[in-house]
Chain A
Amino acid sequence: MTTLAEKVPASATSSRWENARRGFYRFRNSWLSIAGLLIVLVLFIIAVIGPSIVPYPEHVAGSVSTATRFQPPSALHWFGTNELGQDVFSLVVAGSQISLLAGLAVVAVGALVGTLVGAVAGYFGGWTDEVLMRLADLKLTVPSLILAMAVAAALGPGILNMVIAISISWWPGYARLVRGEVIAKKEEMFVQAARALGAGTGRILRRHILPNILTPVIIKMSLDMGFAILTVASLGFIGIGVKPPTPEWGSLLSIARTYMPDYWWTAVFPGSAIFLAVFGFNLLGDGLRDVFDPKARR
Chain B
Amino acid sequence: MTSVDSLAAGPLFGLPLPELWFGLIFTMLATFLFLDGFDFGAGAIFALLETDEERETVLAAIGPFWDGNEVWLVVFGGALFAAFPPAYAGLFSRHYLLMFAILGALILRGLAPEMYEQRHDAGWQRWWGRAFVAGSVLAPFLLGVFAGNWLVGSGRSLTLVGPVVGVTLTLLTVVSGAAFLQLKARERLPEAVTTYGTAATVGYLLAVVVTLAVLAVRLPEGVSALLDPVIIALVVASIGLAAGYVVALRREQSLRALGAAAVMTYGLVAVVAILMYPAIDPAAGATVRGTIVSTLPLNLMTIGASLLLPLVAVYFVVLYSAFSGPITPEEAY
Genuine A/B complex: no
Q: Which residues of A pack against B, CB within 8 Å?
A: none
